């Protein structure tokens, strides 16, 4: 049996005093791809940010066990360095920070955390050149400021480039497909699929079933009002696609959980 | 000094009775008189002295000084250094190691200086050795505007450092003027004075640097004349000691088709005030001002700029950024005048402030005064803090909170630092700011 990478147990959380997660349970094993679907405001993006350690959310109960360790008290950078990667729904643009320098600093932060020697500028450039292939990115993007003036698709490719570089154990893709045309979606999904290995786990958060044609999930969960209300195989996503989220409302009011 | 005062708002001229301000008088009495000075210079100094005798020390009641408090300066006792002392300067910049003039407590230091790479076609040195073909009297103390500290410098100054580029000469080597102050033994008072003339069609790049140790007061004035079609790239670096006072003036007059760029980096001093004053006096003149102030601890750092567009087709672009931490205080007051004659001109001015502490203070006052009717002018100011979402994004990639903050501060500063003309200067300033800001 594969190792459990992530185990979320009865997780509750508030933002500004308002409950936003109301008891989430989720277990992801090595080699698995899980998808979480749901309407806007159902709490699915919140869950991804809480796993990554966003300071705006207050965990009020439950546990987030990552590779056997409760990470609730870890800083966001400690979580990142131990192998958790969140690809942002809206990657931030930071003028003045070169994309290349940023990635080198991030890569070296992880090396330092692992007790390895930092790598120099030249070796890093060789390394990042290889990774550019994964998302078919033009090297000129490295010279630009982080995400500044990037199109929606370019930003998402840049996220996957960072993922390829940092080689995470648990990848969370927060609506990586939103706003992408089919070509960009294909490039991004191909990138993710190339990086899949049996020792890694993926959590894919999306509003649309379309993404799951490209990144095929083993399990699909549906979130509503801060809870996972139903789970199933990939056929659940197709059912949602054909019937819409409304058919779940009965389940929600009946309090059917997983 | 004041030969003309084109805008009544710039500085009030008091023609009342003699005031004999204790602070100014006390400092003037300290100043040594250079007995070998030519008569025209003696006369100019006397005129300034007479004018200064009717001025009092500025206070917060003066519009131009209302944001800062000079009382700790005016209460200080400063003496003219009697014996020049040896002080260690920073390691020379690679690009200017053979084209630098170093002054210690106002005295030229041959050991620290190296002028072996000075090219033909430019004079760099003391006014007292200036060849007679250069008519310094035509330029010295001939900038518009009037203020008491400039008058103090003119009246009490000793030596003048002259940089004079001949007609149509392009100087490739960057010149570096370093003014070091050592106030460790006694709080001293020095008045560096620089006169730069770029003759028609010439071009030069100049780095002017102020730094030191201990407690002292520097009252510096640099006058620059950019003649027709000439070009000057000027860097002013202020890295004075944290116990020092620095009041500085950079007055620039530009003739037609000339281009002047100033990049000022202000990192040091307990109390700092800089007045860059730009006078466009010919058509199609370009003036670019870049400024970066980093103030921490209890520092006060004030930049009061004037840019006057007085002829058609002129343009100016100013970006002044401040990073303010701890209990520090920065001021930006930028006036842009566009006179009636200055049609089809283009002026932009922006002041951006990054506050790193709830106790930091920023005063910003961009001002436009336009009397022409066919111009393009824009100005603005922003005040911000480090963005929590940006910090989280960086931390989610493994950067510690401190590293994330540092990266964002560096990014804010980089926009100005990238405009510095020398690679070694960019490296030095970036490192100094990282050390200065301990987040």
Cβ–Cβ < 8 Å for B308, B6: yes
Query: A82 to chain B: nearest residue by CA?
Result: B398
Q: What is the dihedral sign for C-alpha A40, A42, A48, A49?
A: positive
Question: What secondary structure does DSSP assign to B128-193, as a single string?
Answer: GG--TTS-GGGTTT--S---HHHHHHHHH----EEEEEPTT-B--SPEEEEEEEEEEEEEEEE--E
- Calculate mean pLDDT across residues A163-174: 97
Measured CA angle at A36 (ends A193, A214), to 5 deg: 30
* Residue B166 to residue A226: CA distance in whole angstroms: 76
Sign of the Cα pseudo-torsion (B155, B159, B161, B166, in order) = positive
Which residues have CB under 8 Å from B29's CB, separation 6+?
Answer: none
Closest A-chain CA to B415: A96
Q: Is A74 on the interface with B (CB under 8 A)?
A: no
A24: closest CA of chain B, how far (Å)? 22
B227 in a structural domain: no
pLDDT for A244 equals 82
CA dist A32 and A16 (Å) reads 34
Would residue B436 count as lying in a domain? yes
Are the beta carbons of B397 and A113 separated by less than 8 Å? Answer: no
Closest CA to B139 of B256, B226, B39: B226
What pLDDT does residue B189 have? 92
Nearest residue to A57 via CA among A8, A7, A17, A6: A17
Q: Of how many residues is chain A composed?
A: 258
The more confident residue out of B87 and A123 is A123
- B408 and A105 within 8 Å at the Cβ level: the answer is no
Q: What is the DSSP string of B194-254?
A: EEEEE-TT-EEEEEEEEEEEEEEEEEEEEEEEE-TT-EEEEEEEEE--TT-EEEEEEEEEE
| Contact between residue A54 and residue A71 where contact means Cβ atoms under 8 Å apart | no
CATH code of A182's domain = 3.40.50.300
Interface test with A, best of B398, B413, B426 (most A CBs within 10 A): B398
pLDDT in the model for residue A179:
83
Instruction: Please give the angle made by the CA atoms of B127, B128 and B132, to the nearest 5 degrees.
Output: 80
Average pLDDT on A139-150 reads 94
pLDDT of A255: 42
Contacting residues for B220 by C-beta, under 8 A, at least 6 apart: B153, B179, B191, B192, B193, B194, B210, B246, B247, B248, B249
The Cα B112–Cα B101 span in angstroms is 8
Instruction: Give domain status of residue B409, yes or no.
Output: yes
Q: Chain B contacts of A91, Cβ < 8 Å?
A: 393
What total of structural domains would you count in chain A? 1
Q: Assess contact for A170 and A85: CB atoms under 8 A.
A: yes
Global confidence as pTM: 0.87
Q: Is the pLDDT of residue A234 over 60?
A: yes
Q: Is the CA virtual torsion B169, B206, B277, B137 positive or negative?
A: negative
**Residue found under tokens 């966001």:** A76
Size of interface A-B (CB pairs under 8 A): 73
Partner-chain residue, chosen from B393, B398, B401, that has the shortest CB–CB distance to A81: B398
- Chain A residue numbers with beta carbons less than 8 Å from the beta carbon of B400 are 75, 77, 109
| Helices and strands (H and E) in chain B: how many | 7, 18
Do residues B119 and B172 make contact, with C-beta atoms less than 8 angstroms apart?
yes
Give B396's contacts in chain A (Cβ within 8 Å). Answer: 52-53, 76-77, 79-80, 85-86, 88
Residues of A in contact with B388 (CB under 8 A): 55-56
- Asked whether residue A77 is domain-assigned, the answer is yes
Tell me the C-alpha distance between B177 and B166, whole Å.
19
**Whether A102 and B401 lie within 8 Å, measured CB to CB:** no
β-bridge partners, A169: none
Residues A168 and B40: their CA atoms lie apart, in Å, by 76
User: In this complex, do B397 and A162 lie within 8 Å of one another by their Cβ atoms?
Assistant: yes
Tell me which residue range forms the domain holding A79.
4-253
- The answer to whether B417 contacts chain A (CB < 8 Å) is no
**B388, B392, B415: residue with CB nearest A96:** B415
Q: Residues B1-19, buried b or exposed e (16+ Cβ, 10 A)?
A: bbeeeeeeebbeeeeeeee
Tokens at B156, concatenated: 């009490």
The verdict on residue A258 lying in a domain is: no
Q: How many CB atoms lie within 10 A of CB B393?
A: 23
Q: Which tokens sit at A159?
A: 């996220």
In a domain, A88, yes or no: yes
What pLDDT does residue A251 have? 57
Q: Region A39-60: what's the mean pLDDT?
A: 95
- Domains in chain B, number: 1
* pLDDT score, position B382: 96
- Which H or E element spans position A70? strand A69-70
Distance CA A172, CA A88 (A): 9
- Residue B8 C-beta-side C-alpha neighbours within 13 Å: 0
Give yes or no for A110 touching B (CB within 8 A): yes
Closest alpha carbon within chain A to B407: A97
List the beta bridge partners of residue B261: B233, B288
Measure the CA dihedral B125/B126/B130/B136, to 10°: 110
Q: Which residues contact A142 (CB under 8 A, 6 or more apart)?
A: A98, A99, A100, A103, A128, A132
- pLDDT at position B30: 83
Residue positions counted in chain B: 439
Query: Which stretch of A9-13, A177-181, B300-304 has the lowest confidence by average pLDDT?
Result: A177-181
For A113, which residue in chain B has the nearest alpha carbon? B398
Residue B437: domain span: 387-439
Measured between CB atoms, does B292 come within 8 Å of chain A? Answer: no
Higher-pLDDT residue of A40, A111:
A111
Strand partners, B364: B332
Report pLDDT for A258: 39
**Strand residues in B282-328 grouped as ranges (E):** 286-295, 300-309, 315-324
Supply the pLDDT for residue A254.
43
Question: Residue B8's pLDDT is what?
Answer: 39
Residue ranges in chain B whose pLDDT is less than 50:
1-12
Q: Is residue B127 part of a domain?
A: no
pLDDT of residue A247: 74
pLDDT confidence of residue A243: 85
Q: Are B179 and B218 in contact (CB under 8 A)?
A: yes
CB neighbours (10 Å) of residue B134? Answer: 17
């Amino acid at each position: 049996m594969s190792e459990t990478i992530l185990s979320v147990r009865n997780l509750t959380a508030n933002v500004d005093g308002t409950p936003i997660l109301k008891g989430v349970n989720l277990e992801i094993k090595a080699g698995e791809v899980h998808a979480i679907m749901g309407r806007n405001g159902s709490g699915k993006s919140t869950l991804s940010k809480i796993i990554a350690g966003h300071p705006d959310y207050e965990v009020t109960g439950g546990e987030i066990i990552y590779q056997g360790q409760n990470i609730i008290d870890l800083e966001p950078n400690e979580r990142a360095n131990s192998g958790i990667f969140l690809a942002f729904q809206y990657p931030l643009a930071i003028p003045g920070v070169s994309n290349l320098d940023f990635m080198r600093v991030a890569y070296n932060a992880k090396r330092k955390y692992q007790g390895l020697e930092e790598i120099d500028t030249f070796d890093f450039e060789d390394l990042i050149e290889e990774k550019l292939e994964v998302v078919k990115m033009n090297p000129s993007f490295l010279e630009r400021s982080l995400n500044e003036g990037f199109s929606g698709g370019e930003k998402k490719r840049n996220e996957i480039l960072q993922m390829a570089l940092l080689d995470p154990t648990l990848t969370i893709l927060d609506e990586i497909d939103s706003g992408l045309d089919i070509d960009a979606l294909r490039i991004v999904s191909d990138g993710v699929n190339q990086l899949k290995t049996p020792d890694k786990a993926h959590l894919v958060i999306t509003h649309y079933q379309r993404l799951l044609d490209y990144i095929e999930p083993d399990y699909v969960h549906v979130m509503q009002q801060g809870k996972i209300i139903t789970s199933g195989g990939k056929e659940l996503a197709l059912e949602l696609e054909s019937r819409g989220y409304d058919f779940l409302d009965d389940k929600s009011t009946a309090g059917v959980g997983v | 000094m004041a030969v003309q005062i084109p805008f009544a708002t710039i500085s009030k001229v008091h023609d009342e009775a003699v005031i004999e301000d204790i602070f100014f008088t006390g400092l003037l009495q300290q100043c040594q008189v250079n007995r070998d000075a030519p008569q025209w210079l003696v006369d100019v100094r006397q005129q300034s002295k007479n004018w200064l005798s009717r001025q009092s020390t500025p206070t917060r009641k003066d519009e131009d000084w209302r944001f800062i408090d000079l009382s700790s300066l005016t209460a200080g006792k400063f003496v003219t250094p009697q014996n020049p002392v040896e002080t260690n300067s920073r390691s020379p910049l690679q690009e200017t190691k053979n084209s630098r003039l170093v002054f210690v407590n106002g005295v030229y230091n041959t050991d620290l200086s190296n002028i072996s790479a000075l090219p033909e076609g430019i004079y760099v040195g003391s006014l007292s050795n200036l060849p007679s073909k250069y008519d310094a009297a035509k330029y010295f103390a001939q900038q518009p505007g009037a203020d008491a500290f400039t008058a103090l410098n003119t009246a009490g100054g000793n030596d003048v450092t002259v940089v004079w580029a001949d007609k149509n000469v392009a100087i490739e080597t960057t010149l570096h003027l370093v003014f070091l102050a050592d106030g460790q033994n006694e709080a001293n008072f020095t008045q560096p004075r620089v006169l730069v003339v770029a003759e028609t069609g010439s071009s030069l790049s100049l780095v002017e640097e102020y730094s030191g140790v201990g407690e002292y007061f520097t009252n510096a004035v640099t006058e620059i004349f950019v003649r027709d079609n000439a070009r000057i790239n000027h860097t002013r670096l202020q890295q004075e000691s944290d116990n020092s006072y620095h009041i500085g003036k950079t007055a620039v007059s530009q003739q037609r088709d000339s281009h002047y760029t100033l990049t000022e980096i202000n990192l040091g001093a307990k109390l700092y005030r800089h007045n860059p004053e730009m006078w466009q006096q010919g058509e199609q003149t370009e003036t670019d001002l870049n400024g970066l102030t980093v103030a921490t601890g209890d520092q006060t750092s004030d930049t009061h700029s004037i840019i006057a567009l007085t002829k058609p087709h002129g343009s100016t672009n100013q970006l002044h950024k401040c990073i303010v931490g701890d209990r520090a205080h920065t001021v930006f007051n930028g006036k842009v005048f566009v006179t009636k004659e200055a049609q089809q001109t283009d002026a932009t001015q922006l002041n951006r402030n990054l506050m790193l502490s709830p106790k930091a203070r920023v005063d910003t006052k961009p001002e436009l005064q336009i009397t022409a009717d066919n111009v393009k002018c824009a100005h603005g100011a922003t005040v911000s803090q480090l963005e929590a979402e940006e910090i989280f994004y960086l931390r989610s990639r493994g950067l510690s909170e401190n590293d994330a903050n540092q990266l964002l501060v560096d990014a804010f500063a980089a926009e100005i630092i990238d405009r510095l003309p020398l690679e070694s200067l960019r490296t030095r300033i970036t490192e100094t700011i990282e050390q200065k800001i301990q987040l």
